Amino acid sequence: MKKTLLTIALCLIAGYGLAQNAIKAYEVHAENAYTYYNMRWATGPDDAKHYTTDRLRKEFLVDKVFAPGEVHWTYTMYDRFLIGGAQPTATPLKLVSIAPLYVDASKGDDGRNLLDNRELGIINIGGEGTVTVDGKKYDLAFQEALYIGRGAKDIVMSSKNAAEPAKFYMNSACAHTTFPTKKVTLKEANNIIAGSMKESNDRVIHQLIIDGVANVRTCQLQMGVTELKEGSVWNTMPAHTHCRRMEAYMYYKVPKGQKILHMMGEPQETRPIWLNNEQAVISPQWSIHCAAGTSNYTFIWGMAGENLVYTDMQVIPIPDLK
Domain of residue 141, CATH code: 2.60.120.10
User: Per residue, what are the HEC states of 204-215?
Assistant: EEEEEECCCHHH
Work out the pLDDT band at 19, boundaries 50, 70, 90. very low
How far is the C-alpha of 133 from the C-alpha of 137, rounded, in Å? 6
Answer yes or no: is 102 within a domain: yes
What's the domain count of the chain? 1
Neighbouring C-alpha atoms within 13 Å toward the C-beta of 322: 6
Answer yes or no: is 3 within a domain: no
Asked if 308 and 238 touch (Cβ cutoff 8 Å), the reply is no
Answer yes or no: is 4 within a domain: no
Per-residue pLDDT averaged across 197-220, rounded? 96
Gyration radius (Cα) of the chain, Å: 20
Answer yes or no: is 7 within a domain: no
- Of the candidates 97, 169, 102, the residue with the CA atom closest to the CA atom of residue 131: 169
- The alpha carbon of 65 is separated from its chain's Cα centroid by a whole number of angstroms, namely 9
pTM: 0.91
Model confidence pLDDT, tens digit, residues 83-95: 999 999 999 999 9
Concatenated DSSP letters of 125-176: -SS-EEEEETTEEEEE-TT-EEEE-TT---EEEEES-TTS---EEEEEEE-S
pLDDT higher than threshold 80 for residue 154: yes
Answer yes or no: is 8 within a domain: no
Q: What are phi and psi of 106, to 5 degrees?
A: -65, -20
Q: What is the pLDDT of residue 1?
A: 53
Q: What percent of the chain has pLDDT over 90?
A: 82
Answer yes or no: is 58 within a domain: yes
Domain span holding position 110: 29-320
pLDDT higher than threshold 70 for residue 16: no
Q: What is the pLDDT of residue 309?
A: 86
Strand boundaries in 58-144, DSSP class E: 61-62, 71-76, 81-86, 93-94, 118-124, 129-133, 136-140
Q: What is the amino acid identity at position 120?
A: L
Q: What are phi and psi of 102, to 5 degrees?
A: -65, 135
Answer yes or no: is 21 within a domain: no
Answer yes or no: is 174 within a domain: yes
Model confidence pLDDT, tens digit, residues 269-283: 999 999 999 999 999
